[in-house]
């Protein structure tokens, strides 16, 4: 199974590769939940966002803002009317500190300011 990840790390701390990849995966996840798509419908990352589309929408806004700040053209807004449920994500597959350790072990430019 392909791994899907929505990080719980501030977008400004992600390298370009992880920022853009998360943005794409977030759109896939949004579609799976809102359009009842089968792909990844039982994935743990999908399950943790069910009932929290408002939080996912807000995460997307943070990613999009960071992308624009870095000079990327963001042209894929989400439909705010579909942003239902809780506005805070407090369920984790790995805690943010564990996620940071994953990125450190990959020796990528993430987390460097």
Give per-residue pLDDT as tens, 1-58: 356 789 999 999 999 999 999 999 999 999 999 998 887 888 999 999 999 999 999 9
The encoded tokens of residue 16 equal 């370009």
Does 2 map to a domain?
no
Q: How open is the CA angle 24-64-34, to the nearest 5 degrees?
A: 50
Quick one: pLDDT at residue 55? 98
Of the candidates 77, 1, 89, the residue with the CA atom closest to the CA atom of residue 39? 1
pLDDT confidence of residue 1: 39
pLDDT at 94 over 50: yes
> Is residue 86 very low, low, confident or very high in pLDDT (cuts 50, 70, 90)?
very high
6 within domain boundaries: no
36 Rama class: left (phi>0) / alpha (psi -120 to 50) / beta = left
Long-range contacts at 97-103 (CB < 8 A, ≥ 24 apart):
99/7, 99/8, 99/9, 100/9, 103/9, 103/18
Q: Residue 94: inside a domain, yes or no?
A: yes
**Which range of residues forms the domain containing residue 96?**
13-106
Max Cα-Cα span within the chain: 39
- The answer to the question of residue 8 being in a domain is no
4 assigned to some structural domain = no
Average the pLDDT over 61-87 and give the result. 97
Note the pLDDT of residue 37: 84
Would you state the pLDDT for residue 22? 96
In a domain, 58, yes or no: yes
Average pLDDT over residues 58-84: 97
Let me know how long the chain is.
113
Share above pLDDT 70 across residues of the chain, in percent, rounded to a whole number: 96
Task: Provide Rg for the chain, Cα atoms.
Answer: 14
How many domains are there within the chain?
1
């Amino acid at each position: 199974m392909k791994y899907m990840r929505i990080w719980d790390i501030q977008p400004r701390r992600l390298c370009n590769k992880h920022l853009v990849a998360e943005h794409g995966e977030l759109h896939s996840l949004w579609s799976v939940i809102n359009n009842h798509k089968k792909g990844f419908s039982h994935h743990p990352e999908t399950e943790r966002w069910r009932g929290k589309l408002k939080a996912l929408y807000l995460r997307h806004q943070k990613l999009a803002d960071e992308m624009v700040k870095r000079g990327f053209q963001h042209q894929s807004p989400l439909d705010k009317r579909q942003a239902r449920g809780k506005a805070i994500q407090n369920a984790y597959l790995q805690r943010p500190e564990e996620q940071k350790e994953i990125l450190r072990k990959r020796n990528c430019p993430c987390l460097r300011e």
